[in-house]
Structure 1
Amino acid sequence: MKKFKRVVFLVPSVLLIFFLSGCQQLNQESLTVAGSTAIQPIIEMAAAKYRQQRPNSYVNVQGGGSETGLSQVAERAIDIGTSDVFASKKASLQVHKLQDHKLAVSGIAVIVNAKTGVHNLSMRQVQKIFTGKITNWQQVGGKKLPITVINRAEGSGTRLNFETLALAHHSSMVAQEQASSGTAYQIVKETAGAVSYVAFPYVQAGVIAPKIDEVKPTVANVEDNHWKLWSYEHLYTRQNPSQKVRDFINYLGSSQVKKIILKLGFIPVSAMNVARNRYGTIETVK
């Protein structure tokens, strides 16, 4: 009889646990952000802090590339699509159904393996290197080393911006491709003669970020457009997004997230002295 009583009291307790757990799951708000791998660290850090303030909110952050982010938000597969390029660059999208929220600016630097000995290039030399017309670092004043080009993957916003801004709309040569700036950096660091292009935050120890036409790749030079290789980091939502999406977008525009943007080496849009529209036209910010 004692055993029977224990079971009777145990079952309601277990049911109560499942009931409370179920309620917690039902009350939890979740949303998914995917796309640009360049902006991913900002969103991940912001999402972690956001959840500290809103324990019932969960933000699932994924990469996949700018093209993936744009396609999936347009298809309603995700809540927010992150992109290094304007949605209008993707011809198949119904852009009028999307809303653009510019979060930050990212400089793009050419990086070379330290053994090349190259610290300065002209834009014309950059174009010839990435189109396969220059094949040895000795041809641009460096060491006698064959050039190994590391491209970002097709669908990468960083690649599209680099080909537009640095290569004058020419495609880079067929070469090894990497899905993220972090991986591209690592391979350039470890491979003698390697060269690639990455967002500023990924310019780290062990590689050289050469000047281009005597201009250094610095935040200050991006802000004034002296360094021409930069892009916006976009957050795209559907028009009239849900309240949970609006709440997170508003949080991403807060002073707390601005600190994250600066800490990670990106540039707040408000710090720019110029603006670039979707056609590439540069205007002074008044």
Structure 2
Amino acid sequence: MLSKHKLVLLVLFLILGLSGCQKLSQSSLTVAGSTAAQPIIEAAAAQMRQSDPHFYINVQGGGSGTGLSQVAEGTIDIGTSDVFASQKSNIDQKKLIDYKIAVTGITLIINPQAQVHNLTKQEVKAIFTGKLTNWHQVGGKNLSIIIINRAAGSGTRLNFEKLALSGKSSLIAQEQSSSLTAYQTVKDTPGAISYVAFPDAKAGVIKPKIDGVSPNEHNVLTNRWKLWSYEHLYTRKRVNSQTKIFLKYLTSPSINKLLKKFGFIPISSMQVVRNQQGKVNYLK
């Protein structure tokens, strides 16, 4: 038989243990969606865990479409997206709140064997719609053009088709689930071309100019380089306290240093704004 003193200690231990589990459960949230935004969200989540080890944030990719549909359904807490919710079908944007945390440029990437460093916008359209099929047609090597697309749910793909192809769909071709795998495929495949967010355009590929304009941060700030998108965080209108805490951090000026480290552009640095219809206005 347990003594009265030991029985009291056992009951206290069980109560404290259960309350500890409840705290851990209450301090968890799930973020999913844009693979372009995933590295910055993971880094921010790691910083939050350093300040509070019980604050667990499950960060997933899946693409912007996945993030939007899952947050709209209420199966995740935050959906990350490279596109406005209104650009996706079957998403009721009235149920969601949009937090823009950053801007990212989108660049073409070409395998170096093509030896093409400049394209016109018309040539880009002709390549991705199948009218041009060999790099020698645009001043490069006699090498077949191999298109590498992002998957259909990708926000990067939707923005690329809207901004670079004037809303036309890219030719049906090989698809990659993330910007990083698209980059690696282009790097390893002679004649390949794709499009990725600036942070994922690493060494070993050509980042061509379009109509003589270089894909860099300075040109994005002024909209000279027109291939760019917002990184959105979407939530439902009612969120739990942990989501509020994480959102407060992600939308505060303190996140800017982390954004720059990962190659994103803080919203406050932009000299233009773009609405969901695509209209650009210059800030005074």
Q: Secondary structure at the match of 2:202?
A: coil
Match in the other structure for 1:23: 19
Deviation at 1:260, TM superposition (A): 1.1
Find 1:263's aligned residue among 257, 261, 264: 261
Structure 2: unaligned runs, 5 residues or longer: none
Query: Is residue 49 from structure 1 mapped to residue 47 from structure 2 by the alignment?
Result: yes
**AA in 2 matched with 1:77:** T
Match in the other structure for 1:110: 108
Match in the other structure for 1:78: 76
Query: Is residue 194 from structure 1 mapped to residue 192 from structure 2 by the alignment?
Result: yes
Are the counterparts in 1 of residues 99 and 251 from structure 2 also a CA contact under 8 Å?
Answer: no
- After TM superposition, the structure 1 stretch with the greater mean CA deviation from structure 2, 18-27 or 112-121, is 18-27
Root-mean-square deviation (CA, aligned residues, Å) is: 2.0
Give TM-score scaled by structure 1 length: 0.93
- Cα deviations across residues 69-106 of structure 1 (Å, max 9, x unaligned)? 00000000000000000001123121111000001001
1:280 and 1:117 mapped to 2: Cα distance?
33
Q: Secondary structure at the match of 1:167?
A: coil
1:123 and 1:142 mapped to 2: Cα distance?
16
**AA in 1 matched with 2:100:** K
Find 2:174's aligned residue among 176, 189, 213: 176
1:181 and 1:15 mapped to 2: Cα distance?
52
Match in the other structure for 1:127: 125
Deviation at 1:55, TM superposition (A): 2.1
Taking a change above 3 Å as real, the CA distance of residues 18 and 187 of structure 1, as seen in their structure-2 partners, is farther
**AA in 1 matched with 2:67:** G
**AA in 1 matched with 2:125:** Q
Find 2:152's aligned residue among 137, 143, 154: 154
- Cα deviations across residues 148-191 of structure 1 (Å, max 9, x unaligned)? 00000001000000000000000000000000000000000010
Query: Is residue 64 from structure 1 mapped to residue 57 from structure 2 by the alignment?
Result: no
Taking a change above 3 Å as real, the CA distance of residues 21 and 171 of structure 1, as seen in their structure-2 partners, is same
Kindly tell me the number of residue pairs found equivalent between the two proteins.
280
Q: Secondary structure at the match of 2:103?
A: strand
Where do 1:239-278 residues align within 5 Å?
A: 239-278=237-276
Taking a change above 3 Å as real, the CA distance of residues 26 and 125 of structure 1, as seen in their structure-2 partners, is same
Taking a change above 3 Å as real, the CA distance of residues 283 and 11 of structure 1, as seen in their structure-2 partners, is same
- After TM superposition, the structure 1 stretch with the greater mean CA deviation from structure 2, 21-30 or 126-135, is 21-30
1:56 and 1:115 mapped to 2: Cα distance?
50
Taking a change above 3 Å as real, the CA distance of residues 12 and 148 of structure 1, as seen in their structure-2 partners, is farther
